């Protein structure tokens, strides 16, 4: 009888050592692009620009030595966001932009209503 009780206790304790069931994986929702408006833009110098690039830029024979700009953007919810990315012509204060999610976030031009209507008129019918 004592062996039967010991065997029952041993089997009962093995069940307590079993691994718990794995949680069900949930799919992460992709982040969506937001809208915003550029409030300010400033050039950001590169950390270690190549001397050749600096020389060419000064002589007018190459791209600017800065290359990056910092954009201060007001999101639609009122929050502010600073984005440093390569220079993009046309992105100036007052311009509506799309804030593209990521690490780091990026911004891109949001077409104006006139630009969208012009593009819609060019579509084949």
pLDDT in tens, 51-63: 666 666 666 555 5
Residue spans per domain, the chain: 34-119
pLDDT the model gives residue 19? 55
pLDDT the model gives residue 80? 95
Determine the 3-state secondary structure of 70 from DSSP: strand
pLDDT the model gives residue 18? 54
Distance CA 35, CA 100 (A): 9
Distance CA 71, CA 91 (A): 9
Distance CA 56, CA 61 (A): 5
pLDDT the model gives residue 4? 59
pTM for the structure as a whole: 0.56
In CATH terms, 34-119 corresponds, of 1.10.510, 2.60.40, 2.40.50, 3.40.190, to 2.40.50
pLDDT the model gives residue 88? 86
**Which stretches of the chain score pLDDT less than 70?**
1-30, 46-66, 113-125
pLDDT the model gives residue 36? 95
Q: Exposed e or buried b for every residue in 9-22, given b needs 16+ CB within 10 A?
A: eeeeeeeeeeeeee
């Amino acid at each position: 009888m004592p062996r039967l009780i010991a065997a029952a206790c041993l089997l009962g304790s093995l069940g307590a050592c079993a691994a718990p069931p794995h949680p069900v994986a949930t799919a992460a929702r992709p982040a969506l692009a937001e809208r915003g408006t550029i409030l300010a833009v400033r050039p950001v110098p590169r950390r270690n620009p190549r001397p050749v690039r600096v020389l060419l830029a000064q002589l007018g024979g190459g791209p600017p030595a800065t290359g990056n700009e910092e954009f201060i953007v007001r999101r639609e919810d009122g929050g502010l966001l600073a984005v440093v990315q390569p220079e993009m012509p046309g992105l100036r204060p007052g311009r509506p932009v799309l804030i593209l999610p990521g690490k780091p976030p990026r911004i891109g031009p949001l077409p104006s209503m006139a630009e969208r209507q012009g593009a819609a008129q060019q579509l084949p019918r």
